[in-house]
Amino acid sequence: MIKLDIRVKILILIIANILMFKMMSLNLHLIVAIVFTLYLGITSNARRMINFFLIYMFFTIYEMYFSHTITGKVIDSFLLLTTLMYKTLYFPLCAGVGLVSSSKVSELICFLRKLRLPKKVIIVLAVLYRFFPVLMTDYKLIRNSLRMKGIGVSRGYYLLHPFKFFEYVFVPYVITSTNIANELSVSCLCRGLDNEEIPTSYIKLKFRTQDYILMVLAIIGFSYIMFMR
């Protein structure tokens, strides 16, 4: 894993969100997807990178060779819609996961303070930044607790029993997410984010060689894709 400055990661996230709306050929989209997949690998971990890209390749292969060939129109329409959604969100998904999984909330707060944003905005963004990783951790805890009781052990269990998914997973998940939001808000306030005095921070944001290299490559690649015919 390569240590990158959070400002570079935010820049790449912005680029990914812009490229999400850019019309691309299938080959060009695949090349850009590989680049963002490698970025996810160097900022997060190899296992997550492989899982994301395997799903992307599954939808790409389906789109290229098997779309409109399935006899069931409902199934084919559902797969095409899922393919479109996943491939559209793939760039910001890789950039966002890479940002959240490799950066601390203190780095984000330090960056937002340098932008001189209002304290209320900083608190909201800090809570959102920590909300989804904690939510995923609690989701795994719910699944593990159900497996200890013999529920949802087999693969595809919740696909065969969708109502049990809502009863055993979704309802506790919603209640847990509400408690997490409240706890994170209280945590931010306890750390003094709403303090009116001039804040101090032991976090120092500094560009390194790899930051400059990646930033230049990202800007060059983005400019080429946006202005190419």
CA 7 to chain centre: 16
Q: Which is higher by pLDDT, 89 or 141?
A: 89
Mean pLDDT of the chain: 82
> What is the reported pLDDT for 30?
92
Asked whether residue 193 carries a pLDDT value surpassing 70, the answer given is no
Asked whether residue 212 carries a pLDDT value surpassing 80, the answer given is yes
**Local structure of 78: helix, strand or coil:** helix
Residue partners of 125: CB distance under 8 A and separation at least 6:
108, 112
Mean pLDDT for the stretch of residues 76-100: 88
Mean pLDDT for the stretch of residues 186-197: 67
> What is the reported pLDDT for 72?
62
CA 2 to chain centre: 18
Count of all residues that appear for the chain in the document: 229
> What is the reported pLDDT for 197?
65
**pTM of this structure:** 0.78
Q: How far apart are CA 81 and CA 71, in angstroms?
A: 16
**Local structure of 51: helix, strand or coil:** helix
> What is the reported pLDDT for 220?
93
pLDDT band at 131 (very low <50, low <70, confident <90, very high): confident
Q: How many percent of the chain have pLDDT more than 70?
A: 85
Q: How far apart are CA 216 and CA 85, in angstroms?
A: 29
Hey, what are 158's tokens? Answer: 């919740």
> What is the reported pLDDT for 39?
94
